[in-house]
Structure 1
Amino acid sequence: MSLRPDPTFHASPALAMQAPPEEYAYTVMLSPDASQPDALAVIDVKPGSPTYSQVVHTVPMTHRGDELHHFGWNACSSALSPLTGHAFLERRFLIIPGMRSSRIYIVDTKPHPTQAAIHRVIEPDEIFRKTGYSRPHTVHCGPEGIYVSTLGGGGHDGTDGAPGIFIMDCETFDVLGRWEIDRGPQDKHYDFWWNLPRDYMVSSEWALPPQFENGLVPEDLLSNRYGHRLHFWDLRARRNVQTIDLGAQHQMALEVRPAHDPVREYGFVGVVVDTTNLEGSIWTWWREDGQFHVEKTATIPAEPAAADLLPPLLQAFGAVPPLVTDIDLSLDDRFLYVSCWGTGEMRQYDVTDPRKPKLTGSVHLGGIARRTPHPNGKAFAAGPQMVEISRDGRRVYWSNSLYSSWDNQFYPDGVPGAQVMAHADPDGGLTLADDFWVEFPAGYRAHQIRLEGGDCSTDSFCYPSVGPR
């Protein structure tokens, strides 16, 4: 424990944007056939460095078959909350769940990112015994502990009871127990995030384990059996206060991105596919007079394609759905980035008016039918997937793997790991950096990215930014 607050903790989003640029990125790598342990890659992202855009260190896990997916820090700017006593933690440890194994790795990034090493392994039995949950997924550092969402309940197939969120101690990393006191109608899970001073949480839905672990189940999708609701929670009381159904055809409500400035009571969620027309969509939620409201604010159409360019799963449709699989919001709450994993496009929207997004930038890379190469001439397998934005909003990084069994269905030719970066113009617009291309070790795919010192999907802030709103 430090005697002063970690200098990477920032009271407001505006202060975080003024922090020094990142020099390292952390990306989880998975071995889709479990022939080798999954691993954490440390990547040099400092321009001018002799190892720029290269993997400079790897941390292999202790077991095979974990399926590393999402991960996060033990502590972040939320530790500056005036209501808790954890301001003197360090942003030091990465909490890395294995989604298939339900095992969690704690990786120490000190004394230097290139010396990162496993600090502790939390075995699945501890999570099952203390929470009744399985398939840990999203990690967020809260003021009083580490929050981890899950995709499965108990039992072998994860359907014995609903999935939910559990809490870990942010110093010992012990699993403490379930977060929910009253879950209301929530029976599926995916992402979650919050507005700390306003004391609410929002969570989304993907699917139950039998609907995703062995791949997309077409009959369940066409029958609208995947998740399509948002749940709003009283954060302190730990209870569901409102659930909104987006409509059964809006299948798979995934990433939720609240506005970073806590005075702004709105946020965004991406929906993978509309089963009536294959389009993807962005929805905006907001709170007014104590009630939450949600509306569809942007749509992305499917693209027609010849059957011989499509995987068997899509040939009958004669089109490629955009497949909105990730979104991310810049710290100034101005630009929303949208990954279209199917069509191979990264979109940038100006969301200054959150209910009227304006498309301001787009780059194509990969894609089921387009197969657009990188500006350096190299083939980019699959499409833009997990996206992460630098604190200053000038660099946008993304990788290309969604989930091993889904990769195999939509991109049967293979998804060798790759990570790229685009420069974002402060007034709108995206340009791929032709000198940034990360190649990962053979046999690995690349998923979520975290940036040294924090990024745009890591921190939640306790104080408003100063300036015009």
Structure 2
Amino acid sequence: HRLPMPNLKDELHSSGWSAGCTCFDNITTKRNKLILPCLISSRIYVVDVGSQCRAPRLCKMIEPVDVFWKCNKGYLNVPRSLPNGDILIANVGDPSGNGKGGFIVLDGETFELKGNWENECETPLTGYDFWYQPRHNVLISSAGFVLKCAGYGFNPDDLKKGVFGRRLNVWNLSCRTLTQCFDLGEDSLPLSVKFLHNPDAAEGYVSCALSGIVYRFYKCEANNWAVEEVIRIPAKDVTGWIMPKMPAFTVDLIISTDDRYLYLSNWLHGD
């Protein structure tokens, strides 16, 4: 079975379930819908994978113009279900492709676009990925890049111009406000964010694509959070590439379900 998308140039970059592990206490919750935000077009597809698991079908589509007008957001990336059942989607920019962090929300039952998630507060300059831990009332988000520049591919000329993000953001989950920001270094490009699976754990990791550094973030006293470097992947000396040194470009980070192992995808190094 194949499920073709009805539009071109969407860029289905990330996907997520309509229900997550934080809904474990609701026995009626089922992972029967797949949420597919589009990084380039800003369109959102909802795919029914429950009615016929071997023949998924498209059951809803939210057009980019609705996202642009209602949220003043665009370039959608990572979707995750919230503890209340709604769907949270991180955005990379505004409708014009300028850098703009934050999130939009879909109703968890109807999948209607509800609007922006964050309350009236400072929004990060860029956005990309996020993870949250309800028992600690926290959401951590990464920085990403300015898509109208970096969307054409990696260009060394974009370095030191603010195109690539550098911040790790800490949010109050219930108040939906930004509480802390960590500067991980110019052009570090923090992307993938993961908490440990243990719902009581107050720590996680973020990988930085261009600096090759993995940071551990953790809760300390007075409900504040801190970061520390735990892994550094050196750039490789190369010839015939666009730069003499090739960064690892760690685009994804996965933690094993028993929280014992951490796996990295070093895209440019091929490991």
Q: Same fold (TM over 0.5)?
A: yes
Secondary structure of 2:159's counterpart equals helix
Query: After superposition, what is the alpha-carbon deviation per residue over 1:164-218, rounded to whole angstroms, capped at 9, x for unaligned?
Result: 1011011110000100014436221010110011110000101122222212232
Query: After superposition, what is the alpha-carbon deviation per residue over 1:104-163, rounded to whole angstroms, capped at 9, x for unaligned?
Result: 111111233321111111111221222111111000011220001111113xx233x833
Alpha-carbon contact 1:137-1:151 (below 8 Å) kept: yes
CA 1:225–1:100: 2 relative to 1, 3 Å: closer
Cα root mean square deviation, aligned: 1.7
Alpha-carbon contact 2:208-2:250 (below 8 Å) kept: yes
* Alignment match, 1:149: 90
* Alignment match, 1:165: 103
**Structure 1 position 111 matched with structure 2 position 111:** no
Q: Which amino acid aligns with 2:3?
A: V
Query: After superposition, what is the alpha-carbon deviation per residue over 1:342-370, rounded to whole angstroms, capped at 9, x for unaligned?
Result: 1111xxxxxxxxxxxxxxxxxxxxxxxxx
Secondary structure of 1:211's counterpart equals helix
* Alignment match, 1:74: 18
Alpha-carbon contact 1:182-1:240 (below 8 Å) kept: no
- Once residues 103 and 70 of structure 1 are traced to their aligned partners in structure 2, the CA distance between those partners, rounded to angstroms, is 12
Alpha-carbon contact 1:185-1:243 (below 8 Å) kept: no
Select 1:281's aligned residue among 204, 213, 222: 213
| 1:360-399 superposed matches below 5 A | none
Work out which structure has the larger RCO, using CA pairs closer than 8 Å and 6 or more positions apart in sequence. 1
Q: Which has the larger radius of gyration?
A: 1
- Once residues 205 and 35 of structure 2 are traced to their aligned partners in structure 1, the CA distance between those partners, rounded to angstroms, is 25
**Structure 1 position 306 matched with structure 2 position 245:** no
**Number of paired residues?**
269
Task: Mark the runs of 5 or more structure 2 residues left unpaired by the alignment.
Answer: none
Q: Which amino acid aligns with 1:212?
A: A
Secondary structure of 2:207's counterpart equals strand
**Structure 1 position 272 matched with structure 2 position 216:** no
Secondary structure of 1:273's counterpart equals coil
Select 1:325's aligned residue among 248, 251, 257: 251
Q: Which amino acid aligns with 2:214?
A: I
- Once residues 114 and 168 of structure 1 are traced to their aligned partners in structure 2, the CA distance between those partners, rounded to angstroms, is 26
Q: Which amino acid aligns with 2:231?
A: A
Select 1:233's aligned residue among 158, 171, 190: 171
TM-score between both structures, scaled by the size of structure 1: 0.55
Q: Which amino acid aligns with 1:151?
A: V
Q: Which amino acid aligns with 1:69?
A: H
Q: Which amino acid aligns with 1:97?
A: P
* Alignment match, 2:32: 92
Task: Mark the runs of 5 or more structure 1 residues left unpaired by the alignment.
Answer: 1-56, 275-279, 346-469
Select 2:70's aligned residue among 102, 124, 130: 130
